[in-house]
Chains A and B, each alone.
Chain A
């Protein structure tokens, strides 16, 4: 696996050679810096930790300051671990990774945090149909879930019964998004289709070889 941390900027569309209008998400990806290398001997598994997006030193705790100093980079806002990052390749502390690790036409997975929707009913949250009739005795239960179980047996509601509740604000991964364009000098990539999260939210772009 290889990847980068990025920031979702928004959506736009581009036209390909055939003139097709392709919806794209613009992601500012990298430059990311290697801040920690985890090894099998030391940590029990192999991973590298990447850092992205500058933050002020006065907003950094002393513990993190030293962590960044060890890697020789300025304080960053976000740290993420990537397991088995490009097996076989050797990374060094403080190494800069930019969007040129990807290629146009490649397929990547993008992980983000979906927009919070608040407390939602079962129709929006789980795709229930609700009650399809407005007449025939229905008056205030158009979007009701219906029965949630039987009576004397089991005398309880089964765990995991789908009901209303908080929706969104979850970790969501979208797989197999095509990279349409890479702009190395601006650290920007365009992926085909939508990506979870609001504008300005952080996303992780992964490529599995």
Chain B
């Protein structure tokens, strides 16, 4: 077996859930399982996707939201078993794959137009 094929085989051992397609600029809600002691609960984290990064099971995506006045960014590994579900709330219309310019914008300027089909 070739090097690539073996790596893919190893990656294939990790189970990946199916999520709806989303890209940078979309507003999504990530339901994230949080274990507190023996209890487990779902935390919903809603925000704008800044980027998708990597490929295969090591891929990640960054979600930014405004918590009051402070911007909060979280990076999720797409293969993380803690992600319960991902819901796409809005498709955003952006021109680039990584919308870091959003960090510098506030209030009305930080809005993203909705993409319609």
Contact = CB atoms under 8 A, between A and B. Distances in A.
A12 B77 contact: no
Nearest to B11: A12
Contact of B57 (A12, A26, A199): A12
A153 B90 CA distance: 74
Contacts of A15: 14, 79-81
B7 A9 contact: yes
Interface residues of B, number: 17
B10 A21 contact: no
Given A9-B6, A9-B7, A26-B6, A14 B14 contact: yes
Interface string A25-40: 0101000000000000
A186 B81 contact: no
A14 to B, nearest CB: 6
B57 A28 contact: no
A19 B14 CA distance: 12
Contacts of A199: 3
A95 B89 CA distance: 61
A17 B7 CA distance: 22
A13 interface: yes
A19 B82 contact: yes
A13 B80 CA distance: 10
A62 B11 CA distance: 41
A21 B77 contact: yes
A19 B10 CA distance: 18
Given A19-B80, A21-B77, A186-B1, A13 B57 contact: yes
A19 B13 CA distance: 15
B79 A10 contact: no
Interface in A153-209: 183, 186, 188, 190, 199-200
Nearest to B10: A26
B100 interface: no
A26 B7 contact: yes
Contacts of A13: 57-58, 77, 79
Contacts of B11: 12
Given A19-B80, A19-B81, A12 B10 contact: yes
B6 A186 contact: yes
B9 interface: yes
Interface in B65-87: 77, 79-82
12 contacts: A9-B10, A12-B11, A12-B56, A13-B58, A13-B77, A14-B14, A15-B81, A19-B81, A21-B80, A26-B7, A186-B1, A190-B10
Given A12-B10, A14-B13, A21-B80, 5 more contacts: A9-B7, A12-B57, A14-B14, A26-B7, A186-B9
